[in-house]
Structures are given as structure tokens and as C-alpha cells.
Amino acid sequence: MSTQSEIERVRGWLTGRLPVEWFEGEPEVSVDRDEILVVGRIAAPEQGGEVSAAERAAAEEGRIKQFREDTREKRIEIARELEHATRRKVAWGVRAGETRTVFTSLSAPVMTRLRQPERQVLDTLVDAGVARSRSDALGWCVKLVAQHSESWLGDLREAMTKVEDVRRAGPDATEESVPTDRT
């Protein structure tokens, strides 16, 4: 866990080190025990008249790509210095208009011990095809924990049960796999 003073030191160092022309205002800086993520706002492309959401998004993505290419060498240099000083990896991101992109970010392994109810949540997501593995499912859960609750998982399990029933009754079903009423 990072202390407020560590975060302030990183922000201060970046304020003094980043080229002033890169970002509009101060970049967002988040720090955990493994990584420092720096996300700066760049000017969105000016587009005349009304444009569709797709055109706006494509223009913003293009602006972000241009920034990434133009600043690559300098970002690597700054990241190496900061990594040496903090012993943390540095990741970069940019926001242009409504588009936010994080460039290569650290994916850190996390060891955890889960009891059966938590493992069942992960296995439900894997079995439903929402995630490829328990690790993937855990990451997915962490991202969405504030947005979804147990009722959502209940709905997903119910839907999976219905899908399984439809599969069993499908054209390739055998007599043994089709549920029958034997009362």
C-alpha cells in the first residue's frame, strides 16, 4: 500500500520531469505497491460541425496513437528514471475527449485463498463463458464489484440453467440426456 506522502512525491517528481506541452493540466497518478500509472489529458482533435460518435471516437483514438508514437522515447526515459527511484513499474495512459487508453500496464499475479462460495462465483463465470479462467474471472469481478451484486449472479446462474436445459433437449440430445417426467 502506498502512503499519501509517496504519492505526493511521485506527483511532484512528475510535475518537475514531464514536458509541459504533453498534457492539459496535471496528469492522474495512481500508485500501488507494484506500479505507477500516469494518465494525462491531451487536446481532443477539433472537428468542424456535428460528427457521429464513431467519427469522434476514431479521431480521438488517432490523436492518442499519434501522442503515443511521438512521445515513446521520452516516456521510456522518464519511466526508467522513476522505476529506478521507486522500484515500481511505470505505465502510461492518455485521455483525449471521451476516449481513455492505457498503454502497456502491469498485470501482477495475486495470490489469494478463496472459500467454496467465492470459488463457485469464479467457476460460474468460467462455465458461462464470461471469463477464460478463474484468474480472468477474479479480475473481471474486481472490475465490476461496485456495479453488480449477488442478484446479477443469480440471474446468470438461472440463465445458464436454462441454456443447459435447451442443450439437453436439442437435436443432438440422446434419450438419456433429455429430462423426462417419470411420475
Question: Cα–Cα distance between 9 and 168 in angstroms, integer?
Answer: 60
Nearest CA among 86, 164, 174 for reference residue 127: 164
pLDDT value for 142: 81
What would the grid cell of residue 178 be? 433429455
Question: Cα–Cα distance between 40 and 23 in angstroms, integer?
Answer: 5
Where along the chain do its domains lie?
Answer: 4-102, 116-168
Per-residue pLDDT of the chain (183 residues; tens, 9 = 90+): 467 788 889 999 999 999 999 999 999 999 988 999 999 999 999 988 888 999 999 999 999 999 999 999 999 999 999 999 999 999 999 999 999 999 988 887 888 899 999 999 999 999 999 999 999 999 888 877 656 566 776 788 789 888 888 888 888 766 554 444 444
State pTM to two decimals. Answer: 0.66
